Amino acid sequence: MRFQLKELLKIIAFFIVYFTVHTVAAQSFLPLDENKYRTDAEKLLMSSANDSVKAMQYFYLADYYRFRDTLRFWDNMRHGEQLSKSFRTLQAMGALYKSYYYGQFLDSKNAGIEAEKCISLLSNIQQPFQQGLLARAWYNLGLIRFPKNGFADFLDILNGKCLPYAKAHDPIMEGSINTMIGMTFMSSNQLAKADEYHQLAIKQLEQQSPSAALLVAYLNAVSNYCYQVKSKEARALLDKVKQLLKDYPNSSQLPNYYYNEALYFTTKQNTAEALRLLDIGLNWSVKMNNWKLFQMMRFRKFNVYLLQKKYPEAKLELEEIVKNGLLTRDLYNNKIVYAQLAGVNELMGNYQEALKMSNIANKLSDSIQKVQLLEKMNEMETKYKTVEKEKLILNLRAEKERSQFKIFLFLGMAILLFFIALFVTFFYRKQRKLNTQIQLNHEIALEKLAKEKQLQISESMLRGEEQERQRIAQDLHDSIGGMLTGLKFKIAGDMAKSATLADEIPQKLNDILGEVRRISHNLMPESLRQFGLIPALEQLCITMKNSHVSIQFENYEPELNVDFKKGLAIYRIVQEAISNALKYSHADSIIVQVSKTEAVLHVLIEDNGRGFDSSVLNYGLGLNNMVNRVKWINGSIDIQSTLGSGTQIEIGVVV
C-alpha cells in the first residue's frame, strides 16, 4: 500500500493535537512564579506545627516536583497523606494530586481511581475551597476519560461540572476551561470553532494578573494557528509567551514553548530551525521529568524528517517511541505509530518490513474493534437487563393496578352509600365545621402571638444577660481587682522582714487576681471590644485548646469590620460550639474558619469527633442558645453531622 505524504501529515497533525490536550492541561493550575510557589510552601512547612497546614504544603510541594523529580514528588505526597488522615478535605486534595501524577504517565486506570476518590470525598461539601478542588477533580477525570468517551463527554463535564464553579469563584480557572474546550475542538479538526474559544480564554485571562494559565492559552492558540497556516498570528503570540517567560528561566512551561516554536518553524518550512528547537525542548523535557512531552517531541521530529524526506531518521524516531512505550500504552496510539512505521518503510523501499508493520497495525485495529465490541456488548447486556427489569416492573405494576381498581370500585360504592346517608345532615355539619375552623384559626393566631412574644422575651433576656455580664466584668476588674492589687503591695511592704510571708501571700494574691481576670474575660471578652472579632476568636481558640485537643483557627478575611452586637453574638456561639465539642464529641481536632462571600460573613466550626444523627437532632440548652443568638442578629445556622464523621456548624451573618 502506497502512502501519500499529505495524508500521512494529516494523521500526524491529529495525533499531536490529541496528546497536547492531555499534556498542557495539568500544568495550567501552577502559578507562573513556580520558585516562589515552592519557597512559600517550604517556609510555611517549617514554621507551622499544625498538621493540616503542613499536609497542605506537602501536597503543594508534590505538585511542584511532579515535572521535576519523581522521588521528591512521592516523598512529599507520602508525608502529606500521613498528616491528612483526620481531614477529609486534605485526603481529597492528596487524591487529586496523585491523579495528576498518574495522568502524566498515561496510567489512566490509577489516575481515574484517584480522581473519582477525590470527587467522592467532596461530593456533599459546599465550601468554596472544597468546591474548587471538586471542579479540578472533574476537570482531570474528563481528561482521563477523553480517549475512550471522546470530546462530547469531555465538553459535557467542562460545561456542567467545572464552569459553574469557575464562573462564580475563579476567573483564571474559567479561562483555563475555555482554552481546553478550544483544544478539544482542535482534536476533532474543528479549527475555526477552536479559535473562538482560544480567543475567549485569552481575553478573560489577560484581564487578570499574568498567570501560567494565560501562557498555556497563548501556546494552545499558537498550535491552532499553525494548523491553519496562520504564521503571523502564531508569531505574535509566541513573542508574548517569550516575554512572560523571560523572568522565569526554569519554568516547567519551557518544553511546551519550544515544542510550539518548532511547530511554527515547521509551518514556515524552516525544518532545520524546527529540529534545533525540538532538540532544546527534548533537553528541557528531560530536566522537567516531562516524559510524555518528550515523546511527543520525538513524534514532531519524525514529522519534520518526513518533510525533509530523511526517511531513516524518521523511522528511528518512531522506533524510539515504540521502545520507550509511554505513548503506545494506549491501543489507538500504538496503532497510529505502527501505521506510520509501515508508511516510512514503504517510502524507503523496505516492503517486507512495511508489510510486517502494517500487519501489526491491523492486529491493533482488530484489538481496538474487539474492545469496542466488548464494550458495546456489555452496554447492550446492561440495557437488556434493564429492559427486562422494567418489563417485570410494568407487569407487577399492571397487576397491582388491577387489584387496586377492584378495591377502589368497592370503596367507591361504599363511599357513595355513605354520602347518601350523610346528605340529610349536610347543612348542620357544614355550619359546625365552619365554627370549628374559625375557632382553630383563632387558636393558631393566639399561638403565633405567644411564640412571637416568647421570642421577644428571649431576645430581651439575652440583651439583659449581656448587659449584666458587662457590668459584673467592669466591677470585678475595677473594684475587686483594684483593692486586691492594693492589698498585695501593702502586705508585701509590711512583711518585708518575714521572707516566708512576703513570698507566699503575694503569690496567693496573684492567683486570686488571675482568677478575677479570667472570670472578667469570660463575662465580657476584652479582646473583642479592643481589637475586634478576628483577634478575639483567635485568642478564644488558643485559650480553649488543651493537650488532648488541637483547636485550629483559619481566617481568610484580613480586614473585617463587625459591629459589637453581632461580634459578641458570634463570639458566644463559637465559644458554645467549641465547648460542646470538647465535652461530648471526643474529637482530637477542631477547626474554626472565617470567610466572607460578598456581604455575608461565614463562620465554620468543624470537629472530627464521633458526631450524631442530625436528622433526629434534639436541641438542648447549648444548641438552643446558639440558635437564639443567631436569630437575635438575623443570621442563619446550619448544623450537619453523621455518626462517626464529626460535626459541622456553619453560621451566616450579614455584616
pLDDT averaged over every residue in the chain: 80
**Half-sphere CA count of 302, side-chain side, radius 13 A:** 29
Question: Is residue 564 located within the same domain as residue 519?
Answer: no
Apex 439 CA angle, 435 and 444, nearest 5? 145
Asked which of 499, 524, 549 is the last residue of a domain, the reply is 524
pLDDT at 243: 94
Question: Is residue 519 located within the same domain as residue 564?
Answer: no
Please, where are the H alpha helices in 268-330?
271-287, 291-307, 311-324
pLDDT at 195: 93
The answer to whether residue 548 is domain-embedded is yes
Question: Is residue 511 located within the same domain as residue 419?
Answer: yes
Does 110 have pLDDT greater than 80?
yes
Q: Could you tell me if residue 114 is left (phi over 0), alpha (psi between -120 and 50 degrees) or otherwise beta?
A: alpha
The answer to whether residue 295 is domain-embedded is no
pLDDT at 279: 93
The answer to whether residue 456 is domain-embedded is yes
34-40 mean pLDDT? 92
Least confident segment among 11-15, 40-44, 458-462: 11-15
Question: Is residue 507 located within the same domain as residue 623?
Answer: no
Characterize the bridge pairing of strands 589-597 and 550-555: parallel
| Greater model confidence, 21 or 172 | 172
Q: Tell me if 248 sits within 8 A of 34, measured CB to CB.
A: yes
Q: Residue 337 is placed in which grid cell?
A: 505509530
Percent of the chain with pLDDT over 70: 78
Q: How far is CA 457 from CA 7, 250, 465, 523, in A?
A: 84, 67, 12, 21
Question: Is residue 532 located within the same domain as residue 505?
Answer: no
Q: How far is CA 271 from the centre of its chain?
A: 44
Question: Is residue 438 located within the same domain as residue 570?
Answer: no
Q: Tell me if 309 sits within 8 A of 269, measured CB to CB.
A: no
Confidence of residue 148 (pLDDT cuts 50, 70, 90): confident
Question: Is residue 464 located within the same domain as residue 496?
Answer: yes
pLDDT at 650: 93
Q: What is the CATH number of the domain that holds 584?
A: 3.30.565.10
The answer to whether residue 246 is domain-embedded is no
Apex 647 CA angle, 645 and 648, nearest 5? 125
pLDDT at 605: 94
Domain count, the chain: 2
Please name every residue paired with 648 in a beta bridge, in sequence order, or none if there are none. Answer: 606, 640
Question: Is residue 504 located within the same domain as residue 561?
Answer: no
The answer to whether residue 159 is domain-embedded is no
Q: Which domain holds residue 637?
A: 528-654
| Greater model confidence, 364 or 599 | 599
In whole angstroms, give the CA distance from residue 19 to residue 292.
9
Does 328 have pLDDT greater than 50?
yes
The answer to whether residue 155 is domain-embedded is no
Angle at which helices 88-104 and 70-83 cross, to 10°:
160
Asked which of 473, 489, 524 is the last residue of a domain, the reply is 524
Burial of 60 (C-beta count, 10 Å sphere; 0-12/13-18/19+): buried
Does 229 have pLDDT greater than 60?
yes
Does 431 have pLDDT greater than 50?
yes
313-320 mean pLDDT? 88
Which of 134-148, 153-167, 270-284 has the highest average model confidence (pLDDT)? 270-284
Asked which of 504, 524, 544 is the last residue of a domain, the reply is 524
Q: Tell me if 83 sits within 8 A of 71, measured CB to CB.
A: no
17-34 mean pLDDT? 59
Q: For the residues of 434-473, what is the DSSP string, one character each?
A: HHHHHHHHHHHHHHHHHHHHHHHHHHHHHHHHHHHHHHHH
Q: Residue 620 is placed in which grid cell?
A: 438542648
Question: Is residue 559 located within the same domain as residue 491?
Answer: no
The answer to whether residue 493 is domain-embedded is yes
Question: Is residue 512 located within the same domain as residue 638?
Answer: no
315-332 mean pLDDT? 79
Is the pTM value of this prediction over 0.75? no
Question: Is residue 512 located within the same domain as residue 419?
Answer: yes
Q: Tell me if 270 sits within 8 A of 226, measured CB to CB.
A: no
180-197 mean pLDDT? 87
Question: Is residue 415 located within the same domain as residue 514?
Answer: yes
Does 513 have pLDDT greater than 60?
yes
Does 500 have pLDDT greater than 70?
no
The answer to whether residue 625 is domain-embedded is yes
70-80 mean pLDDT? 90
Strands of 636-641's sheet, edge to edge?
A: 550-555, 589-597, 600-607, 647-654, 636-641
Percent of the chain with pLDDT over 90: 25
CB atoms within 10 A of CB 306: 24
Q: For the residues of 625-654, what is the DSSP string, one character each?
A: HHHHHHHHTT-EEEEEE-TTS-EEEEEEEE
| Greater model confidence, 167 or 482 | 167
In whole angstroms, give the CA distance from residue 209 to residue 197.
20
